Structure 1
C-alpha cells in the first residue's frame, strides 16, 4: 500500500497542544474541502506532484529524523487509501507520538479504536470558511482529553458560532479547545475581547507560530 506524500520535513509545531515543540511532518495530497482561507491549496490539486511512499518507507523516514512528535497533515490525511495501515505501523512504536490534523468531515470512529491511537487536532469549519455544512458533528462523540478542537475564526460571526458550538457540545470538559485567527483577517485583540465578554474559561487563543517565524506562505516549515 502506497500513500501520496507531497512533502515531509522537520520543523516546530506551529499550533495545537505541542506548539513550539519539534515535530516531523508528513503532508499528504488531496482534500475534500475548499476553505476560503486555505493556505495549502497547492497540496490539494488533483494533478499536483507527489511521491508514492509505502507505510514502511514513511516509518523509516520518521525514525531517521530522531524526532518523536509526528504530525500527519494535508490536505486531509484521513482520505488516503492506506492511512489505517500506516497508523497501525506507527502505533507499534511507543517512542513516537502521532498527531493527525483533520478537517472535521471524516468520521473518526474507526481511527480512534486503533491500539495506541493517535491524537486528533480536528477543525470545526466556521461560516467564513464556506465549508461549515460539511462538518461531521458525530465526531464530537469520539474525541477525548488527548484531542483538540480548533476553530479558525475570521469574523465576529465566526466567534459567535464558536461560543455556540462549545456550549452545545460541552467541549471544554471533553477536549482542548483553541481559537486561531484567520491570518490577516481579524485582530487578535478582538478575539480576546470576545473571550472576555463571554467568559470563555478553558478556551485557548493561539496564533500560527510558523507564520510569525517564517514568511506566511513558505513551504516546508
Structure 2
C-alpha cells in the first residue's frame, strides 16, 4: 500500500498494489504521483479517502477522466469524523459508480489518533 506520492513503476508487476489517490481536502493532492494512474494492473486497487461531497465528486471525475474502473478495482472510504459511512454509501448508490466502499476499521476500533495499529 502506498500513499500515492511515490511512483509504483519499480514495484514488481505481480505485487498487488493499493494506491491512494489524495482528494483535495486532504491537502496532499498536489503531491500525487499521477503517473501511477497508467501503471496499475487489473489486480491492483486505487483508494480514495473522501472528506466531503466535493471530494467524492472530484474522485468520480478522476475515475471518469482516466477510465480507472477499466484498469483496476476502485475503493472509496469516508474520512473518520467528517463523512458518515451511510452518507458515502448513499453517494455511491446515487452515482451508480462501480466502486467498493470500505471503512477504515483501525479508526473505528482504536480511534482516529491511535498510531501503530
Please say whether Structure 1 and Structure 2 have the same fold, judged by a TM-score greater than 0.5: yes
Match of 2:108 among 174, 193, 212: 212
Aligned match of 1:107: 7
Highest CA radius of gyration, 1 or 2? Answer: 1
**Do the aligned partners of 1:112 and 1:142 also contact (CA within 8 Å) in 2?**
no
Q: Give the paired residue count.
A: 117
TM-score under structure 1 length normalisation: 0.49
SS of equivalent to 2:10: helix
1:127 aligned onto 2:50: no
Aligned match of 1:165: 62
The CA RMSD measured in Å over matched residues stands at 1.6
1:198 aligned onto 2:115: no
Match of 2:41 among 122, 144, 164: 144
TM-score under structure 2 length normalisation: 0.89
Structure with the higher strand share, 1 or 2: 1
Structure 1: state its 5+ residue gaps.
Answer: 1-100
Q: Which runs of 4+ in 1 moved over 6 A?
A: none
**CA 215–160 in structure 1, closer or farther in 2 if over 3 Å, else same:** closer
Distance 2:85 2:18 in 1: 21
| Structure 1 residues 142-178: Cα deviation after superposition (integer angstroms, max 9, x where no partner) | 1112211110110111001111011111112211111
Structure with the higher helix share, 1 or 2: 2
SS of equivalent to 2:75: strand
